[in-house]
Amino acid sequence: MSLTAPYTNAMRIGQGFNTYTQEIRLEDAVRIGSGKSKDSKESATPLSPPVTPNTSAAVAPLGDIPVVAINGVQASGAETSSVATPPGTPGRDMVGSALDVISEPNGELPFEIAAGPTPTTSQSVTYSTRAIENVSDIMDALNISTSMSIKYGTIHGNGNASFVNETKVLDSELNYVVSVIVNNDAQAATEEMVFQDISGLPLDRFTEVYGDSFISGFTEGGEFNAVISIKLNDKSKFRSVKQAVDVQLAVGPPTLEIGASEAVAKEHSEALRNTEISISVNWVGGGEIKKPKVPWTIQSVVSVANAFPSMVSRSSARTQAILTRYTSLRSFQAWKWSRLLEERRIWESDPRNQKGGENNKSGKERYEEPVIILNYVPCSLYTAELFDALMNYKKLWKRIGEILQNPSQYKLRSAPQKKGTKALEGKPANKNISPLLTKDLSKQGATTSPTSAENSSPCQDNSITLLGMERAFTFAVEEGATGWNLLEHNARQDPIPPEPVALNEAKLLCREAMTLITEEASRLVDHPHLAYAEYDPKTKSTRMKRPNYAYPEVLKERLPIPIHNDILSDLSTDGAYLKTAAYAHSSTIWFEPDMVGDPKATDAELTQKFGVGGKYEDFSTLELTEPHGSTGANPLRRIALHRYTLSSFKSWLSTTGLKQAENAIGAIGLARIHDNSAEAESDGCNRHLGHLHRSDDSTDFKILELGNVDVTKIEVAYVPGSGYIAGITFFDQIDGQHTERLRWKQWEGKEPQGLVRVVNEPPDRGDGTVWQFVGLAGSWVDTLGKGHLLARVSGIWKKVGDE
C-alpha cells in the first residue's frame, strides 16, 4: 500500500488514517513533538490556494520561436544570439534544450511564468504518460482509493477525484493520463513521536478506531493531472488515431526536421478529425498555470505539463500526507506487547480455557494472538476488480435505459450455439419464469426469476462457514437459490428481447450486482481476509474467492443490438441510401442505411488507392424490381457475382490498391422474373451492375437461384481501409439452421490480415414478423478505365404481406 495519501484540508499532524479507504481516523492518535508543534498550528486553519504574482513573462522573438523566462532568468533575442556557445554544447538551433520542451513552434505559449529571483529549492519531478485500459487504472495513477469510490458509487475520495468524467472514460475507445508530480525537497525537523493509547480498547477494534497508519507530515510541491478521453466515430481509424495521440503525448522535445514535423502534424490532424476529445484537468500548486483564454488541447496539456515544475518552484502547496505505520513507533510496540501479555495472562488464568475446561477439554487449545492492525495488502487487486465491475454495470445500466427509450431501434441478438449448460441441469423447476430466460433453458429447470417471492436473497444469511473459514456476511455463490445462483447467471447465453419487461429485469440484475459489489467492498474494510485465497486443509488445495456478483460481460453479450450500424456517412447525399429509401414505406423495408464496408473516402483518398479519376457510383436494385409509373413489379430470380480482374497491361499502370483488389467483386448480374432469357449473358442475367468482363469461363462468376432459396442473412467481409468488399456469403435458414447458398471470397487459403466479418440481416423483434429478401444496395468505385469494385453493400428485405 502507498505510504502517502492525497492532501485534504481536514488532515492534521498525528491523526490516525486508514490507507485502504483513505479515511481519517482518531485525532491525536500520535503526539508529535510537544503536541503543539509548528506544523499542527499551521494546519489548524485551511490553506488558501497559492496565487501566482501578477507579472508577465518577457517574450521576445527568436526566429519563429518565442523566448520565455525560465527559472526567473529573462533573455531577449539579441542576448541569446550574442552569447557564445561553449565547446561541446549544442546551440539553440539544435534539439534538446529546455526552450524546445516548453515552446510551441507555431504560436503563443498557453502559459506565463512569472519573472523574479531564481528559486533555490531543489525538486524531484515525476512525469508520466500512460494509456488507460480500465477506470481502476486511473485510480491507481492518481492514488485514489477504489474502496471509497465503490462506497460512493463513483470516482471519489479526495479533491483530486472529482475532476474525472467517468462517463466519458467508459464511452471512449482511447484514454490517457498525463501526470506530473513535483516535490520541493526540504529537510524535515526530527521530532519525537509518541503513541496515544486508549485504555480498555478491544484489540480487534484497533484498526476501526486508529486506522493502520498515522499522518506524520506533509509534502509540498505541486501535482498536475490530465485525463484525455477520445471517442472514435469511425472505429476503423483506431490505429491511426492512437498513433497520432501517442506521438503528441511523447515526452521531450521534437526529433523531426521542420518540414517533416509539419507533414506529420498535418497527418495527425487529419486522423483526429472525426473524433470526440474530452480533456479533464486538475492541479495543485503552480498558481495560474494556463492563460484563461487558451483552451485545453492535447498540445496545451503537454506544454503546461513540461513547464509545471518551473511554476511550482514559484508557487507550491501541500500535495500529499506522509503516512507512517504504527509498528515503527517504540511507544506503540511497548503498548502492544503489554496488552498482548495481559490478554494472554487473562486467557490462561480462566478455568474454562485450562486443560479439561469447558473450552479446552482435550488440552490442545492454545492462546491465539489477536490481529491488532488489519492487513489490507491483498485487498488492492480484488478491490480494483470490484471497482471495474461496478463501472461496467453502471455503463450497462445506462445502455439498457437507452434501449428502453427506443426499443424499436433494437433487435434480438443472434443466439449462440448451446454449450456450457450442463451445470444447470437437475435444478428444481419453478413456475415463476423470468423474461430474461429462453424457452430452452426453462425446460432445464434453471429459470426462476431473481424477483420470485419463493426465492430468498443470499444476502439474508449473515455468515456461513466455507472450507473451515468463516466468510462473514457473504455466501456461497454455487449454492444460491434458483434465480440467485451466480453460476446460473454466468452460464446463461440466451439473448434478451427488446421489450420492456425483459429489459427492466436486466436492469434489476444490474442493480443487484451493484448492491452486492458495494456490500462486498464495505465488508473488506473490517474483514480483509475475505479477499484472501481459501485453503482447505482436508484436500490441501487452494481456491480463490469467487466474485459475489454475475459477470457484467455475460449480460453485455445478451443485450439487444442496434438494428442499424453506427451511421458514419452523410445520408442526405448518399445515393445508395436515397435510392433505396424512396421505396420504403414506414417500416416495410429494412436495410443498413450506411451499408457495410468502408465509409466513402475523399477524392484524394480514392486517387491514392485506385488512381486518378476514381469516383463512386451508387445503386439499388429496387429501381429495377419495384413498380413505378405504369411498370409493375419485376422481382429478382437470379443473382450472379463476377470477378474483378486486371489485364496484364493495365496491371502495369495500376496502383497498389487496385492490384490488391484482384479477384474481388467487379460486377453483379441480375435476372428478373419477367426478363427475356434469350437475351441473357453467359451468366443467365440480363442486367449487370458494375463493369462486366465478358467471359464464358464459369470460374469468373458464381450464380444464386432465388426461386427455391429464402435469403435470411448475408455475411460481408472486408479489410478496413482497403476500400472494397473482399467477400460476401448468402445464407438461408431451414429448421433453425443457417445454410450457405452462395459464397464469394477474394482470397485463397489464409484470410487477409485484419479481415472483419459483418452479419447483415433483418431485425427479429420477437413479434413474428417475416422478412423476404428482395435485393441489394450499395456503391461501386469506378476506377476510370480499369473496371469497377464493389465498395459498400447491404441486403434489402421487405415484410411479407406488405407488397
- pLDDT, tens digit, for every residue of 42-81? 444 444 444 444 333 333 333 333 333 333 333 333 333 3
Query: Rg of the Cα trace of the chain?
Result: 35
Domain boundary among 536, 562, 588: 562
In this predicted structure, the answer to whether residue 82 has a pLDDT above a threshold of 50 is no
488 and 588 share one domain = no
In a domain, 249, yes or no: yes
Give the C-alpha separation, 744 to 670, whole Å: 16
Among 302, 321, 340, which residue terminates a domain? Answer: 321
pLDDT score, position 701: 92
Instruction: Answer yes or no: is pLDDT of 432 > 60.
Output: no
d(CA 628, CA 391): 53
Q: How confident is the model at residue 148 (pLDDT cuts 50, 70, 90)?
A: low
Query: Is 552 in the same domain as 599?
Result: no
Task: Output the pLDDT for position 730.
Answer: 96
pLDDT band at 716; cut points 50, 70, 90: very high
Regarding predicted confidence, which is higher, 720 or 425?
A: 720
Minimum mean pLDDT range among 236-240, 254-258, 529-533:
254-258
pLDDT category at 651 given cuts 50, 70, 90 is low
Average pLDDT score over residue span 588-614? 86
Does residue 107 belong to any structural domain of this protein? no
pLDDT band at 656 (very low <50, low <70, confident <90, very high): confident
Is residue 9's pLDDT more than 90?
no
pTM of the predicted structure, to 2 decimals: 0.56
- Please tell me which residue, 96 or 200, carries the higher pLDDT value: 200
Q: What are phi and psi of 410, to 5 degrees?
A: -125, 160
Mean pLDDT, residues 414-429: 47
Looking at mean pLDDT, say which of 565-569, 592-596, 619-623 comes out highest.
Answer: 619-623
Give the domain CATH number at 688.
Answer: 2.100.10.30
In a shared domain, residues 528 and 578: no
Quote the pLDDT of residue 754.
Answer: 86
Domain end, chosen from 321, 338, 368, is at: 321
Rounded CA separation 677/654 (Å): 36
pLDDT at site 571: 73
Grid cell locating 131: 494509456
- Per-residue pLDDT, averaged over 757-772, amounts to 80
Cell triple for 661: 483488389
Q: How is residue 24 written as a grid cell?
A: 481519517
In percent, how much of the chain has pLDDT > 70? 70
**Looking at this protein, which amino acid is placed at residue 626?**
E
Asked if residues 17 and 9 have their Cβ atoms less than 8 Å apart, the reply is: no
Q: What is the mean pLDDT of residues 254-275?
A: 62
Would you say residue 85 lies in a domain?
Answer: no
Using the predicted structure, report yes or no on whether residue 762 has a pLDDT greater than 50: yes
Longest dimension (CA), the chain: 112
531 DSSP assignment: G
Q: How confident is the model at residue 351 (pLDDT cuts 50, 70, 90)?
A: confident
Q: Kindly state the helix (H) or strand (E) to which residue 386 belongs, with its residue range.
A: helix 379-405
- What number of residues does the chain have? 803
The helix (H) or strand (E) run that includes residue 594 is none
Per DSSP, helices labelled H in 493-540 are 500-526
Output the pLDDT for position 167: 74
Q: pLDDT for 449-473, tens place per residue? A: 333 334 443 333 433 343 333 443 3
- Residue 583 above 70 pLDDT? yes
Between these two residues, 590 and 764, which has the higher pLDDT value? 590
pLDDT, one tens digit per residue, over 312-328 is: 888 888 888 999 999 99
Residue 63 lies in a domain: no
What are the b/e assignments for 777-800, b being 16+ CB within 10 Å? bbbbbbbeebbbbbbbbbbbbbbe
- Percent of the chain with pLDDT strictly greater than 90: 20
Q: How does residue 481 score in pLDDT terms, banded at 50, 70 and 90?
A: very low
Residue 642 has pLDDT above 90, yes or no: yes
Answer whether residue 16 is part of any domain.
yes
How much is the average pLDDT of 259-278? 69
pLDDT: which is higher, 517 or 167 = 517
Residue 140 reports pLDDT greater than 90? no
Looking at the structure of the chain, the number of domains it has is 3
pLDDT at 669: 95
Same domain, 252 and 201: yes
105: confidence class by pLDDT, cuts 50, 70, 90: very low
User: SS3 string of 253-289?
Assistant: CCCCCHHHHHHHHHHHHHHCCCEEEEEEEEEECCCCC
Among the listed residues 751, 649, 752, 663, the one whose alpha carbon sits nearest the alpha carbon of residue 699: 663
Q: Is the pLDDT of residue 533 over 90?
A: no
* pLDDT for res 59: 36
Give every CB contact of residue 162 below 8 A, 6+ residues apart in sequence.
Answer: 155, 156
How many Å apart are CA 492 and CA 442, to the nearest integer?
11
556 and 589 within one domain: no
Distance from the Cα of residue 253 to its chain's centroid: 30
Q: Which residue, 600, 630, 615, 594, is CA-closest to 760?
A: 594
Sign for the pseudo-dihedral over CA of 305, 310, 312, 314: negative
User: Other C-beta atoms within 10 Å of 560: how many?
Assistant: 26
The pLDDT value given to residue 266? 67
Lowest-confidence pick of 160-164, 283-287, 669-673, 779-783 = 160-164
pLDDT at 686: 92
Q: Which of 454-458, 537-541, 668-672 has the lowest mean pLDDT?
A: 454-458
Dihedral-angle region of residue 160 (phi above 0 means left; psi in -120 to 50 means alpha; beta otherwise) = alpha
Look at residue 329 and tell me if it is in a domain: no
Residues 126 and 165 in one domain: yes
Same domain for 663 and 634:
yes
Mean pLDDT of all residues in 571-596: 83
Is the C-alpha dihedral spanning 216, 327, 206, 23 positive or negative?
positive
For residues 408, 414, 419, 421, the Cα torsion angle rounded to the nearest 10 degrees is: 10
Q: Is the pLDDT of residue 384 over 70?
A: yes
Of 544, 556, 548, residue with least CA distance to 492: 556
547 in the same domain as 418: yes
**What 8-state DSSP symbol labels residue 368?**
P
Residues 587, 527: one domain? no
Containing structural domain, residue 493: 379-562
On whether residue 331 sits in a domain, the answer given is no
Q: Are both 519 and 600 inside the same structural domain?
A: no
Q: Are residues 395 and 309 in the same domain?
A: no
Q: With respect to residue 597, please indicate whether it lies within any of the assigned structural domains.
A: yes
Do residues 285 and 407 share a domain? no
Separation of CA 132 from chain center: 8
pLDDT, mean over the chain: 75
Q: Is residue 196's pLDDT more than 90?
A: yes
When pLDDT is cut at 50, 70 and 90, the band that residue 108 belongs to is: low
DSSP summary character for residue 29: S
What is the band of 37 on the pLDDT scale with cuts at 50, 70, 90? very low
